Structure 1
Amino acid sequence: MREELQKWYSPSLNKDMETLVFGDAGQPVILFPTSMGRYYENKDFKLIDAVANFINEGKIKVYCPDSVDALSWYNKNIHPADRVKNHIWYDKYVLEELLPLAKNQTGHAKVITAGCSFGGYHAANFGFRHPWAVSHIFSMSGAFDITGQLDGFYNDDVYFNNPVDFLPNNINPELWDLKIVLGTSDRDICRQDNERLSGILHQKGINHWLDIRQNADHDWPIWRDMFPEYIYQL
């Protein structure tokens, strides 16, 4: 399996950013890390190995970006308004830098977003904010209400990055073209978050799969089972 570290100076974030890329061809998958995770996390926890066959067959090419969660949502040293603004710069980085790279390298017009735990938030938030650029959202044990990170602060920037808030009022017709999987489990600490988001999607008539696994926790073993099953459906 081909593995390449791509690094460049991000004008959006005003810092060097690293992305670990796996494969030569196929549908581009932007696979976000968990809370404050690094670009190599999904490799280290064997999530890449779980889909190695699809990568080697040229079905997918996986892009594992670094996160800036420690500078945004988890940065208790700055005002909550600035935490959100730092995330907005990250969204701009993904949209204007990483997305074009993935599209140009694979020839596909849209990307797949995926991630586990807090990476599931990133996958869903980016996909729902930019449905014209995304074909599939694969969230595994994601949580979709970001307000708990902001010490009670709320403004329009929070609203437009909080899927459970902005999605009910979003009428972009391309939302209905998304292929969405919300993976969770019976013992998942984020199960209720997934059921809540599923309810919102159901009310809007947006097709999706709420996949609730049995006898599983909020942890890598179930995510390694889920991810290849979701990729198989492409």
Structure 2
Amino acid sequence: MQEVYRPFYSRTLGHDVEMLVFGDMGYPIVIFPTSRGRYYEAKDFKLTEAARWFVENHKVKLYCIDSVDAHTWYAKHLHPAERVQNHMRYDQMIGQELVPMLQRECHVDKIGVAGCSFGGYQALNFAFRHPEQVAYLFAMGAAYDMSQFVDGYYDENFYYNNPPSYMPDAQNEHFYQMKIVLGTAEDDFCKPSTLQMSDILNRKGIRHWLDIRPGTHDWPVWRDMFPHYLSQM
């Protein structure tokens, strides 16, 4: 399976963003890491290996992007407003720099996004904030309410990056074109959040697959989920 280390300079963030790319052609899927995870995490925990057949048969091309969690939601040394603003710069980098690069490289109008645990939040939040850029969303074992990270702080920027807050009133025709999977496990502590998000989508008439499997909040469950979801593309 072809693997390439491809850092790129982000004008938005003002520094290099590290990335591993698997495959030489196929539909682009951006994989976000878990809490404070790095760009090599999906490789280390064999999530990319679980998708080997799809990569080697040119079905998908995986882009494992780095996180900036230490400067955003997990930056307890910063004021909550600054944490959210830093996250918004990361969101801007993905939408205005990474996605256009993948659109040109893979000759697509939209991309796919995926992530496990906190990466699932990143994937879902980006997809729902920018549905015109995303065709496939695979969120696994994720929680979507960011209130726990801001110490009671609340402003407009937080609202628009907290999916349970903004999604009930969000309107966009692209929501109804997106292929959405919300995956969780019976004993996953994030299961209630996944059920809440599924209920929000149901009330809006947004089609999605709520996939609840045996197991807990851990990589073996996500390694089973990911190739199954890719097979449904």
User: TM-score range with shorter-chain normalisation?
Assistant: over 0.9
1:80 maps to 80
Give the share of equivalent positions with the same residue, in percent: 50
Cα offset, 1:108, TM superposition? 1.2
Matched residue type, 1:91: D
Residue in structure 2 matched with residue 38 of structure 1 by the alignment: 38
TM-score by length of 2: 0.99
**In 1, distance between residues paired with 2:173 and 2:156?**
22
1:182 is paired with a residue whose SS is strand
Distance 2:179 2:132 in 1: 12
* One-letter amino acid of the structure 2 residue matched with residue 89 of structure 1: R
Query: TM-score normalized by structure 1?
Result: 0.98
Q: How does 1:128-167 map to 2 (within 5 A)?
A: 128-167=128-167
RMSD: 0.6
Tell me what 1:217 maps to: 216
The answer for unaligned runs of 5 or more in structure 2 is none
SS, match of residue 193 in structure 1: helix
1:8 deviates by 2.0
Equivalent residue of 1:224, what SS?
helix
Separation of aligned partners in 2, 1:182 and 1:172: 19
Partner of 1:227: 226
1:178 counterpart residue number: 178
Distance in 2 between residues matched to 1:15 and 1:151, nearest whole Å: 28
Map 1:86-97 → 2, pairs under 5 A? 86-97=86-97
Is 104-113 or 32-41 further displaced after alignment? 104-113
Secondary structure at the counterpart of residue 135 of structure 1: strand
The separation in 2 between residues aligned to 1:17 and 1:213, in whole angstroms, is: 34
Flag as ranges the 4+ runs of structure 1 deviating above 3 A: none
Number of positions where the alignment pairs a residue of Structure 1 with one of Structure 2: 233
Instruction: Give the match's secondary structure for 1:48.
Output: helix
Q: Distance in 1 between matches of 2:40 and 2:101?
A: 19
* Deviation at residue 130 of structure 1 after TM alignment: 0.4
Structure 1 stretches lacking a partner, 5+ long? none
Aligned partner of 1:175: which letter? F
